[in-house]
Amino acid sequence: MSVIRWDWVERHAGDIAGMLGQHVALTGLALLCGLIIAFPLALAAVRWPRLYSLSLVLTGILFTVPSLALFILLIPFTGLSMATSLIGLTIYTLLILFRNIVEGLRGVPRDVSEAARALGYTRGRRLIAVELPVALPVIVAGIRIAAVTTIGLVTVTALIGQGGLGQLFISGFTLHFTTPLLVGFVLSILLAVSVDLLLAGVLWWLTPWHRGRSA
């Protein structure tokens, strides 16, 4: 018996593409929601350092909770729905995104911010035109870790009726059939690696001043 039955893969190509689509959608939405929450929180934390340690502890505790348990604790509110998956996945991105945005902004050299201020930049423009671009490598590093982590976690939501490629794990288990499992496994890893490389490429494109130096 071969490990992969390609005829099965061919017959189910449409389903697999749909699951891959759901996987990408859940990951993208979770990252987007995570950024929308983490960004203002991070700006506040940079201004009020006490808020930083408090938020770190809170997001840290949420991050520690095992994924399946977190998804299940949301079921009483949102049921076995896509919202449950999305909220749970978003919660997992928060710690990584929040921490990296704060560390990135804190790592902006003081003289750079002050030079911008001396040039007459307002606080908002200074943030957008000077501090964020300087902090970008650290922020994107966080987005990369969050993206790869989320892609793995999406598969767990198969247990609560979502799951993207994780549904293939369930089929593999219930049918005792390695083909769907391996297809899901390999595609999930490939997706994680390509998203990681894509984000690295985006960073390279956004930060021309870093090019040519050793990373």
Partner 1 sequence: MKTAIRGVMLVAGCLFASRALAIGLDADGFGVVDQVVQWFADPTQWTGDNGLPHRIAQHLYYVAVSMAVAVSIALPVGIGLGHWGRGGLIAINLSNMGRAVPSFGLVILMFLLVGIGFLPVLVALVALAIPPMVTNSYVGMQAVDPSVRTAARALGLSGWQQLWQIELPIALPLVMAGVRTAAVQVLSTATLAAYVGLGGLGRYLIDGLAQQQLAQVVGGAIVVAVLAVLLEIGLGTLQKALTSPGLAR
Which is nearer to partner 1, 18 or 60 (by Cβ)?
60
Query: Does residue 134 bind partner 1 (CB under 8 A)?
Result: no
Query: Does residue 88 bind partner 1 (CB under 8 A)?
Result: no
Query: Does residue 82 bind partner 1 (CB under 8 A)?
Result: no
Which is nearer to partner 1, 81 or 133 (by Cβ)?
81
Which is nearer to partner 1, 79 or 125 (by Cβ)?
79
Which is nearer to partner 1, 137 or 184 (by Cβ)?
184
Q: Which of residues 26-55 bind partner 1 (CB under 8 A)?
A: 53-54
Among 29, 68, 82, 136, binds partner 1 (CB under 8 A): 68
CB 117 within 8 A of CB 81: no
- Stretch of 24-32, 38-46, 63-71, 201-209 lying at the interface with partner 1 (CB under 8 A): 63-71
Which is nearer to partner 1, 127 or 147 (by Cβ)?
147
Q: Which of residues 140-179 bind partner 1 (CB under 8 A)?
A: 145, 148-149, 151-152, 155-156, 158-160, 165-166, 169, 172-173, 176, 178
Minimum distance between the CB of residue 140 and partner 1, rounded to whole angstroms? 14
Query: Does residue 2 bind partner 1 (CB under 8 A)?
Result: no
Write a three-state SS string for the chain.
CCCCCHHHHHHCHHHHHHHHHHHHHHHHHHHHHHHHHHHHHHHHHHHCHHHHHHHHHHHHHHHHCCHHHHHHHHHHHHCCCHHHHHHHHHHHHHHHHHHHHHHHHHCCCHHHHHHHHHCCCCHHHHHHHHHHHHHHHHHHHHHHHHHHHHHHHHHHHHHHCCCCCHHHHHHHHHHCCHHHHHHHHHHHHHHHHHHHHHHHHHHHHHCHHHCCCCC
